[in-house]
Structure 1
Amino acid sequence: MAPFIYALCALTSMLCSVLLLRGYRRNGYRLLLWSGLCFAGMTINNLLLILDRVVFPTEVDLIPLRLWTALIALLPLLYGLVWEEE
Structure 2
Amino acid sequence: MAIFVYGLCALTALMCAFLLLRAYHATRSAVLWWSGLCFSGLMLSNVILIVDKLVFPQIDLLGLRLWITLVSLGLLLYGLINSGE
Task: State the TM bucket, normalised to the shorter chain.
Answer: over 0.9
CA RMSD of aligned residues (A): 0.7
2-structure distance, mates of 1:81, 1:30:
9
After TM superposition, give the deviation of residue 76 of structure 1 in Å: 1.3
1:45 counterpart residue number = 45
Amino acid of the structure 2 residue aligned with 1:64? G
Identity rate, percent? 52
1-structure distance, mates of 2:35, 2:2:
27
Amino acid of the structure 2 residue aligned with 1:7? G
Task: Report the TM-score when normalising by structure 1.
Answer: 0.95
Equivalences for residues 1-86 of structure 1 within 5 A: 1-57=1-57, 59-86=58-85
Q: Deviations over 1:10-41 (max 9, x none)?
A: 01100100000000000111100000000000
Q: Deviations over 1:34-56 (max 9, x none)?
A: 00000000010000100111111
2-structure distance, mates of 1:44, 1:26:
24
Gaps of 5+ in 2: none
Amino acid of the structure 2 residue aligned with 1:80? G
Instruction: Report the count of equivalent residues.
Output: 85
